[in-house]
Structure 1
């Protein structure tokens, strides 16, 4: 008998991709059809749509965040206090600027990836992009959260006064944007894990 020399691909057959006939059944998420493209994971699409919406909301909320308060400054006991308007704005902090730029970049990438989710050649580039997006989101959230905590509590060791007792609304909107972006980061992580799981289930090489 002649032994069949078939090298295992993603589905155990040469030339068969994710859409081959030997594809295994998925888990709890339904796999959309498409014999010509990459099968679409309904959970993955929903997660990516959430990442697009969440990063957009986080970038917009932080990008429009500003508050002006009038502060009284006493120069001398014999003089009346001066009322000086002081504004807090997201662009005054490099951490918040990085946060807005990172969320905007992840939003644009996720929207482009969502549009090309059925293209077979986009699988590897999208996975690499998801890894970079994950790193961007977590680093941006960490930087913005650290700056927000500093504004909330101050730092007595270097004599940095807290400012959130003055700019309360500004700090609340900033922290809301950070929380939304953190949710987007976790959704991106789950989405990446689902993609890896889908590739593993559709591969007989392992």
Structure 2
């Protein structure tokens, strides 16, 4: 007498059913990764720090009065002179770079729940890293020049005239440098997380 296996009770049917149920569960799995609290906190800090750095430098301005001697027989003239962030290309680059980093951090916070955005966000973090460090270097170099001058090319120091301007610029550079290091730490954590979850290792 010929025996007929009932579908769903044979081993093959059970195996295929388990495979289908597994694939269905995988398809039904959520596409959004779990929220990384440390990563979100770092991104919020980077957003706030770059915003503060851009605003402080963008509002930096000071007008001082200097004495100009035309001739020894004439009394010196009192001339008002103004220092402003837009007069320096290094400070302009600093403000633009920090503003771009701030906007990117806001976009990254909105997209951090999407798995498809992991690779683009890492590339964006690398670009922001380069922007912040280069902007900090350019602004710091110009600030040191204003603080100490350059005797080789006969450029005099000006921070003794614009003390408040230089102090605010230095504060903005320090805040942006801290934001750059925070972005570096976040990028290192993201690389380690990808390495840990990679199927190649």
What TM bracket, shorter-length normalisation? Answer: 0.7 to 0.9
Of structures 1 and 2, the one with the larger relative CO (CA 8 A, separation 6+) is 1
Match for residue 4 of structure 1? none
Query: Where does the alignment leave 5 or more consecutive residues of structure 1 unmatched?
Result: 1-12, 21-34
Q: Match of 1:61? A: 56
CA distance in 1, matches of 2:26, 2:50: 36
Aligned partner of 2:20 in structure 1 is none
Tell me which residue corresponds to 2:129: 134
The answer to whether structure 1 residue 186 and structure 2 residue 181 are counterparts is yes
- Greater Rg by CA: 2
Q: In structure 2, what is the Cα distance between the partners aligned to 1:16 and 1:144?
A: 51
For residue 89 of structure 2, the aligned residue among 72, 90, 94 is 94
Question: Is 1:111 aligned with 2:106?
Answer: yes
Partner residue in 2 for 1:199: 194
- The alignment covers a number of residue pairs equal to 177
Q: Structure 2 stretches of 5 or more lacking a match?
A: 1-22
CA distance in 1, matches of 2:26, 2:135: 40
Alignment of 1:1-206 (within 5 A): 35-206=30-201
Any idea what SS the aligned residue of 2:82 has? strand
Deviations 1:145-201 (A, max 9, x none): 000000000001111000001101100000100000000000000000111111122
Partner of 2:14: none
TM-score, scaled to structure 1: 0.82
CA RMSD between the two structures = 1.8
Deviation at 1:16, TM superposition (A): 6.8
Structure with greater helix share of residues: 2
Cα separation, partners in 2 of 1:164 and 1:132, compared to 1, 3 Å: same
Cα distance in 1, alignment partners of residues 177 and 170 from structure 2: 10
Cα distance, 1:78 vs. partner? 2.1
Q: Post-superposition shift, 1:138?
A: 0.2
The corresponding residue for 2:8 is none
